[in-house]
Amino acid sequence: MKRSYLLYVLTFVAAGVGLIFQLLIAQTLTLLDGNSVLKYSFIIGIYLLAAGIGAIFPTRKTRNPQGNFLLKIELLISFFGLLVIPLLYFSYIIKYYFFLYPGNINFFSGPFFISVGILLAFIIGLFKGIEFTALVNLSKEHEPSSFSTILSFDYFGALLAAMLFPLILIPNFSLFQICFLIAVINLIFVYFFICLLFRTSGGLYLYFGGFLLLILAIFLFKAGSFEQFFLKKIYYPPYQISFSTIFSLPTDFPEVKRYLSPYQVIDVVDTKIKKDGLTPIEIYNQDLPVFVQYSNKLKIYPNFPWNYALHLNGSFQSFSGTEELASEYLVHVPIIANQVPRRVLIIGGGNGNTTREVLKYPQIEEIIQVELDPVMIKLAQEDEIFTKINNNAMNNKRLKIVIDDGFNYIKKNRTKFDAIFIDIPAPNNYDLSRLYSREFFGLIRNRLNPEGYVSFIATDIFNSWDKYYNTLTVAGFQTVIPYFSSLEVDNPKALSVLDYLLSDIIAQGYQIESKNFLSDFLRNKFSNAFIFIKTEPYLLNQSYQNNNVFFSVLNERRYYLAFDYNYIGFNLEKIIDPKKVNSIMRPTLYK
């Protein structure tokens, strides 16, 4: 094989490896800390900056590269590439632990985590710049006119990597597996081509490379164990932090079930911890004794799997012990306030909880559910935990499931609906923000029958009510009514349980008034916000009718409390401000 061809292949592989390492850094930062646009833009920018600095690195070895010099560079790239995911997870654990416990050094809960990602991107980018310059100078020695070809293969390699990462790697491999696999590929293939190119055995660097390859092979084989170690550190943090607890092995904890899809990472966390002493995740279990004084679900279904928390892309979505609070209020409150629909559209809600509530009405003739993620649908239809929680709703014959993006479906489909229930994650990135945009709700309005209505979960409504109101008003809805899953304070059983839970604190001399504490507790833990909208002005149905449907938590009193804004402390001020409108072209809800 001509040496020029070897150079081209070497450049192609090296470019792909470098870009995948950067995408890994950006994806990990996004998964653990959100804000994908900022993370990807920042990391790619830092990578290009570092590569530019590396490209002008004035050394004799880059001008007249030798085999051992390039081998050394590849060793360093593989070594730092190997550390990318473990170091980012460790830095996040430090940030997470310090953030969980107020009063600690703010640096660790702020710039520390992103700084580690930037440093890794810069180091790998610097070496890639040095590597590329050496390859260009090497090509000029053999074919002075080959610079453009080398540059083309560098771009082609980066393009292939950019396509493989989201389409093949992310849906099928964990971040740890990708990290170790790419480091192995870099070490094996690039080493091989360098040795062919310079007709060298590599000498001492070959032994170093062999040792590193052995380490990488072990890491790749044990990638699942590495992932579980860090997942347990994140989802089962210690009750008190110290240097030892940050680096200690998490034992006696259930495995975190992680499922990968092209669209998201799905984590199912078992909160039923068989271990002495409390950890912060047991707050779910500690809240449950109070909540069961408002819900009869666990009394009627004692074997219900109450102890599972669902996380999507690292963000908490629902807890099976209290999930009925969101799903019942999302579906039943607007139905009681209007009438039972005949044709229903559900957007999102892939876990099946919203579907379960809709199916309680035999009058509903047609239910279409649009969900983007087929992996979530499969779990909801087949997984034992999911099917028990959703009462096997996703296999019901009345339900038609459409695998599609909600925005695309609404845009293409012309069917009119009597009710639309939107159950999607909070708008914490640009992709989700478009499903809360004026454009999306404008399409929703056109898919409603004259008396049709829509309800959706309104995250962070206390800080974002003006954005919701202006967006929906501009989209053409004349009725925009927020409501809340408010629970009454004067519940003797709940007060009794709370007194018991607070007994240790009271015994230490703290003065706590149970009723006030319960009021704050209910608002902070169990008060979800929703918005109900119609195209025409509408007065809510003042008479409560449950339509002979079983509710676990909703009742007549709580239905009226849902619209009591003084009780929840919500200011229903309606001020028209075009700057507050959330649009695809100018997102305002996204944070």
DSSP symbols for 15-74:
HHHHHHHHHHHHHHHHHHH--HHHHHHHHHHHHHHHHHHHHT---HHHHS--HHHHHHHH
Q: Is the pLDDT of residue 288 over 80?
A: yes
When pLDDT is cut at 50, 70 and 90, the band that residue 440 belongs to is: very high
State yes or no: pLDDT of 394 exceeds 90.
yes
CB count in 10 Å sphere of residue 461 = 19
**Alpha carbon of 327 to those of 232, 334, 385: distances in Å?**
28, 12, 17
Asked if the structure places residue 289 within a domain, the reply is no
Residues 6 or more apart in contact with residue 464 via CB below 8 angstroms = 458, 589
- pLDDT over 70 for what percent of the chain? 86
CATH for 394: 3.40.50.150
139 neighbors 150 (Cβ within 8 angstroms): yes
Range of weakest confidence among 318-322, 425-429, 446-450: 425-429
Among the three residues 211, 230, 249, which one is the final residue of a domain in this structure? 230
Q: Is the pLDDT of residue 105 over 50?
A: no
Q: Quick one: pLDDT at residue 507? A: 45
- For residue 286, give every residue at least 6 positions away whose Cβ sits within 8 Å of its Cβ, in sequence order, or none: 278, 501
Provide the domain limits for residue 419.
Answer: 318-487+527-538+546-580
Number of domains in the chain: 2
Does the pLDDT of residue 512 top 50, yes or no?
Answer: yes
Considering the domain architecture, whether residues 344 and 457 belong to the same structural domain is answered as yes
In this prediction, residue 239 carries a pLDDT of 66
> Is the residue at 270 inside a domain?
no
- pLDDT at residue number 484: 96
Together in a domain, 106 and 210: yes
pLDDT band at 381 (very low <50, low <70, confident <90, very high): very high
Choose one of 210, 230, 250: the last residue of a domain. Answer: 230
Residue 237 pLDDT level (bands cut at 50, 70, 90) = confident
Per-residue pLDDT band at 423 (split at 50, 70, 90) = very high
Mean predicted lDDT score pLDDT of the chain: 86
The most confident of the ranges 203-212, 348-357, 426-435 is 348-357
| DSSP designation for 254 | P
Residues 112 and 225 in one domain: yes
Q: Are residues 338 and 210 in the same domain?
A: no
pLDDT of residue 103: 47
Poorest-pLDDT segment among 151-160, 249-258, 269-278, 477-486: 269-278
The lowest-confidence range among 130-134, 503-507, 557-561 is 503-507
Residue 206 within any structural domain of the chain: yes
Confidence of residue 389 (pLDDT cuts 50, 70, 90): very high
In the predicted structure, residue 192 carries a pLDDT above the cut 80: no
Question: Which has the higher per-residue pLDDT, 199 or 377?
Answer: 377
Active site residues: 423
Q: Name the pLDDT band for 162 (thresholds 50, 70, 90).
A: very high
CB atoms within 10 A of CB 411: 13
CATH of the domain at 190: 1.20.1250
Predicted structure pTM score: 0.88
Q: What is the pLDDT of residue 25?
A: 96
CA distance 512 to 34: 37
C-alpha of 261 from chain center: 12
In a domain, 128, yes or no: yes
223 and 345 in one domain?
A: no
Average pLDDT estimate for 104-113: 59
Q: What average pLDDT does the segment 319-325 reach?
A: 93
pLDDT band at 34; cut points 50, 70, 90: confident
CA 33 – CA 196 distance, rounded (Å): 43
Query: 11 with 150: CB under 8 angstroms?
Result: yes
Closest C-alpha to 532, from 293, 255, 265, 338: 338
Within a domain: 242: no
Query: Residue 275: pLDDT above 70?
Result: no
**Is the model's pLDDT at 286 over the cut of 90?**
no
Distances (CA, A) of 516 to 206, 499, 568: 70, 12, 13
Can you say how many angstroms the Cα of residue 496 is from the centroid of all Cα atoms in its chain?
Answer: 37
- Give the confidence band of 66 by pLDDT, cuts at 50, 70, 90: low
The answer to whether residue 534 is domain-embedded is yes
**Closest by CA position to 302, among listed 413, 388, 363, 200:** 388
Residues 186 and 323 in one domain: no
Q: What is the mean pLDDT of residues 25-32?
A: 92
Given a cut of 90, whether residue 496 has pLDDT beyond it is no
Mean pLDDT computed over 386-395: 96
226 and 77 share one domain: yes
- Asked, for residue 494, whether it belongs to a domain, the answer is no
Please report the pLDDT score of residue 219 as a whole number: 83
Query: Would you say residue 271 lies in a domain?
Result: no
Residue 532 has pLDDT above 60, yes or no: yes
Domain boundary among 208, 230, 252: 230
CA dist 298 → 293, 294, 320, 388 (Å): 10, 11, 11, 13
CA distance 495 to 475: 44
Question: What pLDDT, on the 0 to 100 scale, is given for residue 515?
Answer: 72
pLDDT, greater one: 92 or 192: 92
Statement to judge: residues 225 and 333 lie in one domain: no
178 or 568: which carries more pLDDT confidence? 178
Instruction: Say if residue 461 is in the same domain as residue 563.
Output: yes
Q: Are residues 461 and 570 both part of a single domain?
A: yes
Nearest 5 degrees, angle CA 562-CA 564-CA 566?
Answer: 140
Residue with tokens 């304070």: 489
